[in-house]
Structure 1
Amino acid sequence: MRTYVKRIVLETERLRLYVTSQAEMEEIIDRQTDDELQKAYQEMLDGYLAHPEQGEWYAIWMVTRHDGVQVGDLSFKGLNEDGSVEIGYGINDEFQGQGYATEAVAAAVNWALKRAGVLRVEAETEPDNAASQRVLAKCGFVPNGIVGEEGPRYVRR
Protein backbone atom coordinates (compact mmCIF):
# COMPACT_ATOMS: atom_id res chain seq x y z
CA MET A 1 0.00 0.00 0.00
CA ARG A 2 1.30 3.43 -0.91
CA THR A 3 1.13 6.37 1.46
CA TYR A 4 0.53 9.74 -0.15
CA VAL A 5 1.54 12.92 1.61
CA LYS A 6 0.68 16.34 0.25
CA ARG A 7 3.38 17.70 -2.01
CA ILE A 8 5.02 20.73 -0.37
CA VAL A 9 7.23 22.88 -2.55
CA LEU A 10 9.31 25.83 -1.33
CA GLU A 11 10.97 28.22 -3.78
CA THR A 12 13.94 30.44 -2.97
CA GLU A 13 16.04 32.71 -5.15
CA ARG A 14 18.10 29.80 -6.51
CA LEU A 15 16.48 26.67 -5.12
CA ARG A 16 13.40 24.51 -5.10
CA LEU A 17 12.78 22.30 -2.05
CA TYR A 18 10.11 19.64 -2.16
CA VAL A 19 8.83 16.73 -0.10
CA THR A 20 9.48 13.41 -1.82
CA SER A 21 6.89 10.69 -2.21
CA GLN A 22 7.12 7.20 -0.75
CA ALA A 23 8.21 5.86 -4.15
CA GLU A 24 10.91 8.53 -4.46
CA MET A 25 12.21 7.75 -0.97
CA GLU A 26 12.32 4.03 -1.75
CA GLU A 27 14.31 4.80 -4.91
CA ILE A 28 16.75 7.01 -2.98
CA ILE A 29 17.28 4.24 -0.41
CA ASP A 30 17.83 1.63 -3.13
CA ARG A 31 20.43 3.83 -4.89
CA GLN A 32 22.31 4.79 -1.71
CA THR A 33 25.74 3.22 -1.41
CA ASP A 34 26.69 4.75 1.96
CA ASP A 35 25.40 2.38 4.68
CA GLU A 36 25.00 5.14 7.26
CA LEU A 37 22.97 7.34 4.90
CA GLN A 38 20.93 4.38 3.74
CA LYS A 39 20.04 3.61 7.38
CA ALA A 40 19.11 7.27 8.03
CA TYR A 41 16.95 7.42 4.91
CA GLN A 42 15.24 4.16 5.89
CA GLU A 43 14.45 5.64 9.32
CA MET A 44 12.88 8.64 7.56
CA LEU A 45 10.76 6.36 5.38
CA ASP A 46 9.71 4.31 8.42
CA GLY A 47 8.57 7.50 10.19
CA TYR A 48 6.81 8.67 7.04
CA LEU A 49 4.89 5.38 6.80
CA ALA A 50 4.09 5.32 10.53
CA HIS A 51 2.80 8.92 10.54
CA PRO A 52 1.24 9.61 7.11
CA GLU A 53 -0.73 12.54 8.54
CA GLN A 54 2.62 14.19 9.38
CA GLY A 55 4.65 12.87 6.45
CA GLU A 56 6.36 16.17 5.74
CA TRP A 57 8.05 15.92 9.16
CA TYR A 58 9.66 12.58 8.21
CA ALA A 59 10.11 12.73 4.45
CA ILE A 60 13.27 13.42 2.52
CA TRP A 61 13.11 16.91 1.05
CA MET A 62 15.00 17.28 -2.23
CA VAL A 63 17.02 20.45 -2.71
CA THR A 64 17.39 21.30 -6.40
CA ARG A 65 18.44 24.34 -8.34
CA HIS A 66 15.79 25.88 -10.58
CA ASP A 67 17.42 24.09 -13.54
CA GLY A 68 16.54 20.75 -11.89
CA VAL A 69 20.04 19.80 -10.72
CA GLN A 70 19.93 18.22 -7.27
CA VAL A 71 22.37 19.92 -4.91
CA GLY A 72 21.43 18.09 -1.72
CA ASP A 73 18.61 17.12 0.60
CA LEU A 74 17.26 17.80 4.04
CA SER A 75 14.75 16.35 6.42
CA PHE A 76 13.03 16.91 9.70
CA LYS A 77 13.07 14.15 12.29
CA GLY A 78 9.43 14.20 13.29
CA LEU A 79 7.24 16.73 15.10
CA ASN A 80 7.66 16.17 18.82
CA GLU A 81 4.95 16.69 21.44
CA ASP A 82 7.00 19.53 22.99
CA GLY A 83 6.74 21.55 19.76
CA SER A 84 10.28 20.84 18.57
CA VAL A 85 11.45 19.55 15.22
CA GLU A 86 15.01 18.63 14.38
CA ILE A 87 16.44 19.39 10.96
CA GLY A 88 19.24 17.55 9.20
CA TYR A 89 20.74 18.55 5.86
CA GLY A 90 23.46 17.75 3.42
CA ILE A 91 24.79 19.35 0.27
CA ASN A 92 26.53 17.24 -2.37
CA ASP A 93 30.31 17.74 -2.33
CA GLU A 94 30.51 19.50 -5.69
CA PHE A 95 28.00 22.16 -4.56
CA GLN A 96 29.40 22.94 -1.11
CA GLY A 97 30.68 26.41 -0.33
CA GLN A 98 28.14 28.12 -2.62
CA GLY A 99 25.56 29.10 0.00
CA TYR A 100 23.04 26.41 -0.94
CA ALA A 101 22.87 24.92 2.56
CA THR A 102 22.16 28.31 4.13
CA GLU A 103 19.50 29.10 1.54
CA ALA A 104 17.80 25.71 1.90
CA VAL A 105 17.94 25.56 5.69
CA ALA A 106 16.64 29.12 6.03
CA ALA A 107 13.66 28.34 3.76
CA ALA A 108 12.83 25.07 5.51
CA VAL A 109 13.16 26.54 9.01
CA ASN A 110 11.04 29.58 8.14
CA TRP A 111 8.39 27.24 6.72
CA ALA A 112 8.51 24.99 9.81
CA LEU A 113 8.20 27.82 12.32
CA LYS A 114 4.95 28.91 10.63
CA ARG A 115 3.34 25.49 11.11
CA ALA A 116 0.83 24.89 13.89
CA GLY A 117 2.39 23.29 16.94
CA VAL A 118 6.00 24.11 16.06
CA LEU A 119 7.74 26.18 18.73
CA ARG A 120 11.37 25.63 17.80
CA VAL A 121 13.69 23.96 15.31
CA GLU A 122 16.78 22.16 16.56
CA ALA A 123 19.90 20.89 14.83
CA GLU A 124 22.98 18.95 15.79
CA THR A 125 26.40 19.04 14.17
CA GLU A 126 29.76 17.46 14.74
CA PRO A 127 32.10 19.64 16.83
CA ASP A 128 34.63 20.00 13.99
CA ASN A 129 32.07 20.78 11.27
CA ALA A 130 32.66 24.52 11.11
CA ALA A 131 30.81 24.88 7.79
CA SER A 132 27.61 23.43 9.24
CA GLN A 133 27.96 25.58 12.35
CA ARG A 134 28.25 28.67 10.09
CA VAL A 135 25.09 27.62 8.24
CA LEU A 136 23.21 27.33 11.52
CA ALA A 137 24.51 30.70 12.79
CA LYS A 138 23.52 32.42 9.52
CA CYS A 139 20.04 30.90 9.89
CA GLY A 140 19.59 32.27 13.41
CA PHE A 141 20.38 29.17 15.44
CA VAL A 142 22.17 29.47 18.78
CA PRO A 143 23.86 26.74 20.85
CA ASN A 144 21.57 25.41 23.57
CA GLY A 145 24.33 23.93 25.73
CA ILE A 146 23.37 20.31 25.07
CA VAL A 147 25.67 17.82 23.37
CA GLY A 148 23.87 15.11 21.42
CA GLU A 149 25.05 11.95 19.65
CA GLU A 150 26.69 13.90 16.82
CA GLY A 151 27.85 16.91 18.81
CA PRO A 152 26.61 20.31 19.99
CA ARG A 153 22.92 21.08 19.59
CA TYR A 154 21.53 24.37 18.29
CA VAL A 155 18.07 25.88 18.47
CA ARG A 156 16.04 28.50 16.64
CA ARG A 157 12.73 29.71 18.03
Structure 2
Amino acid sequence: MDVMRFSINEKTAAFLCVLSGITVATTISPSGEYFLGNFIYFWLPQLGILALTAIIHSRPAVISGAALVMALYLAAFNSWTPDSMAWLGYLFSLPGAAIGSAIGAANIKNRATTTAIHAGSAVAASTIIGLSINQLLVCSTVMHCAF
Protein backbone atom coordinates (compact mmCIF):
# COMPACT_ATOMS: atom_id res chain seq x y z
CA MET A 1 0.00 0.00 0.00
CA ASP A 2 1.38 3.38 -1.00
CA VAL A 3 1.48 5.80 1.91
CA MET A 4 1.05 9.46 1.00
CA ARG A 5 3.47 11.80 2.72
CA PHE A 6 2.49 15.34 3.56
CA SER A 7 4.73 18.29 4.15
CA ILE A 8 5.36 19.80 7.55
CA ASN A 9 3.65 22.97 6.31
CA GLU A 10 0.43 21.13 5.49
CA LYS A 11 0.33 19.48 8.91
CA THR A 12 1.17 22.76 10.61
CA ALA A 13 -1.63 24.52 8.73
CA ALA A 14 -4.08 21.83 9.83
CA PHE A 15 -2.94 22.19 13.44
CA LEU A 16 -3.28 25.98 13.32
CA CYS A 17 -6.74 25.85 11.73
CA VAL A 18 -7.99 23.38 14.35
CA LEU A 19 -6.38 25.56 17.03
CA SER A 20 -8.27 28.58 15.65
CA GLY A 21 -11.57 26.81 16.35
CA ILE A 22 -10.44 25.96 19.86
CA THR A 23 -9.36 29.56 20.38
CA VAL A 24 -12.70 30.97 19.21
CA ALA A 25 -14.61 28.53 21.42
CA THR A 26 -12.40 29.42 24.38
CA THR A 27 -12.75 33.14 23.77
CA ILE A 28 -16.53 33.22 23.52
CA SER A 29 -17.16 30.82 26.41
CA PRO A 30 -18.02 32.77 29.57
CA SER A 31 -15.53 32.30 32.38
CA GLY A 32 -16.54 30.72 35.62
CA GLU A 33 -18.38 27.55 36.43
CA TYR A 34 -20.11 27.36 33.01
CA PHE A 35 -16.90 27.65 30.97
CA LEU A 36 -16.35 23.94 30.33
CA GLY A 37 -19.96 23.23 29.41
CA ASN A 38 -20.08 26.14 26.98
CA PHE A 39 -16.69 25.28 25.50
CA ILE A 40 -17.83 21.70 24.89
CA TYR A 41 -21.09 22.96 23.38
CA PHE A 42 -19.22 25.26 20.98
CA TRP A 43 -16.31 23.04 19.97
CA LEU A 44 -17.40 19.40 20.31
CA PRO A 45 -19.64 19.55 17.19
CA GLN A 46 -16.67 20.94 15.25
CA LEU A 47 -14.53 18.09 16.52
CA GLY A 48 -17.17 15.64 15.28
CA ILE A 49 -17.08 17.14 11.80
CA LEU A 50 -13.29 17.07 11.76
CA ALA A 51 -13.38 13.45 12.89
CA LEU A 52 -15.71 12.70 9.98
CA THR A 53 -13.16 14.09 7.52
CA ALA A 54 -10.43 12.10 9.28
CA ILE A 55 -12.50 8.90 9.01
CA ILE A 56 -12.57 9.45 5.25
CA HIS A 57 -8.73 9.42 5.50
CA SER A 58 -8.40 12.97 4.30
CA ARG A 59 -5.12 14.78 3.99
CA PRO A 60 -4.30 17.58 6.46
CA ALA A 61 -5.19 20.31 3.94
CA VAL A 62 -8.78 19.01 3.83
CA ILE A 63 -9.04 19.19 7.59
CA SER A 64 -7.56 22.72 7.43
CA GLY A 65 -10.28 23.92 5.06
CA ALA A 66 -13.14 22.51 7.12
CA ALA A 67 -11.66 23.66 10.45
CA LEU A 68 -11.07 27.21 9.27
CA VAL A 69 -14.61 27.59 7.94
CA MET A 70 -16.13 26.27 11.16
CA ALA A 71 -13.98 28.56 13.31
CA LEU A 72 -15.03 31.56 11.23
CA TYR A 73 -18.67 30.46 11.36
CA LEU A 74 -18.55 30.16 15.15
CA ALA A 75 -17.06 33.64 15.45
CA ALA A 76 -19.62 35.09 13.02
CA PHE A 77 -22.53 33.34 14.75
CA ASN A 78 -21.36 34.74 18.08
CA SER A 79 -21.23 38.26 16.66
CA TRP A 80 -24.87 38.32 15.51
CA THR A 81 -26.57 36.03 18.03
CA PRO A 82 -28.66 38.12 20.43
CA ASP A 83 -29.69 35.53 23.02
CA SER A 84 -28.89 32.09 24.34
CA MET A 85 -31.78 30.25 22.68
CA ALA A 86 -30.49 31.28 19.27
CA TRP A 87 -27.46 29.04 19.86
CA LEU A 88 -29.66 26.10 18.99
CA GLY A 89 -29.48 27.47 15.45
CA TYR A 90 -25.72 26.97 15.60
CA LEU A 91 -26.16 23.30 16.38
CA PHE A 92 -28.96 22.83 13.85
CA SER A 93 -26.85 24.30 11.05
CA LEU A 94 -23.80 22.08 11.61
CA PRO A 95 -25.19 19.00 9.81
CA GLY A 96 -24.85 21.05 6.62
CA ALA A 97 -21.18 21.63 7.42
CA ALA A 98 -20.72 17.91 8.03
CA ILE A 99 -22.36 16.97 4.74
CA GLY A 100 -20.51 19.66 2.81
CA SER A 101 -17.11 18.76 4.24
CA ALA A 102 -17.69 15.03 3.72
CA ILE A 103 -18.69 15.55 0.08
CA GLY A 104 -15.70 17.82 -0.48
CA ALA A 105 -13.30 15.42 1.26
CA ALA A 106 -14.57 12.43 -0.73
CA ASN A 107 -14.29 14.40 -3.96
CA ILE A 108 -10.73 15.53 -3.23
CA LYS A 109 -9.66 12.06 -2.09
CA ASN A 110 -10.24 10.71 -5.59
CA ARG A 111 -7.79 13.24 -7.05
CA ALA A 112 -4.23 12.30 -6.17
CA THR A 113 -2.58 15.23 -7.95
CA THR A 114 -4.46 17.96 -6.10
CA THR A 115 -2.25 20.57 -4.42
CA ALA A 116 -2.68 21.34 -0.74
CA ILE A 117 -4.09 24.83 -1.33
CA HIS A 118 -6.60 23.48 -3.86
CA ALA A 119 -7.69 20.66 -1.54
CA GLY A 120 -8.15 23.01 1.42
CA SER A 121 -9.97 25.62 -0.66
CA ALA A 122 -12.29 23.08 -2.27
CA VAL A 123 -13.29 21.58 1.07
CA ALA A 124 -13.68 25.05 2.59
CA ALA A 125 -16.02 25.98 -0.27
CA SER A 126 -18.06 22.79 0.04
CA THR A 127 -18.29 23.28 3.82
CA ILE A 128 -19.50 26.88 3.35
CA ILE A 129 -22.07 25.76 0.79
CA GLY A 130 -23.42 22.99 3.05
CA LEU A 131 -23.46 25.31 6.05
CA SER A 132 -25.21 28.09 4.13
CA ILE A 133 -27.90 25.81 2.74
CA ASN A 134 -28.57 24.33 6.16
CA GLN A 135 -28.57 27.77 7.84
CA LEU A 136 -31.06 28.99 5.24
CA LEU A 137 -33.31 26.02 6.02
CA VAL A 138 -33.01 26.63 9.76
CA CYS A 139 -33.78 30.34 9.37
CA SER A 140 -36.81 29.66 7.20
CA THR A 141 -38.33 26.98 9.45
CA VAL A 142 -37.48 26.76 13.16
CA MET A 143 -35.57 29.98 13.87
CA HIS A 144 -36.13 33.64 13.18
CA CYS A 145 -32.91 35.10 11.77
CA ALA A 146 -32.46 38.85 11.61
CA PHE A 147 -29.43 39.48 9.44
TM range (shorter): 0.3 to 0.5
Higher helix proportion, which one?
2
TM normalised by structure 2 equals: 0.34
Choose between structure 1 and 2 for higher RCO, CA contacts under 8 A separated by at least 6 residues: 2
TM normalised by structure 1 equals: 0.33
Higher strand proportion, which one?
1
Greater radius of gyration (CA): 2
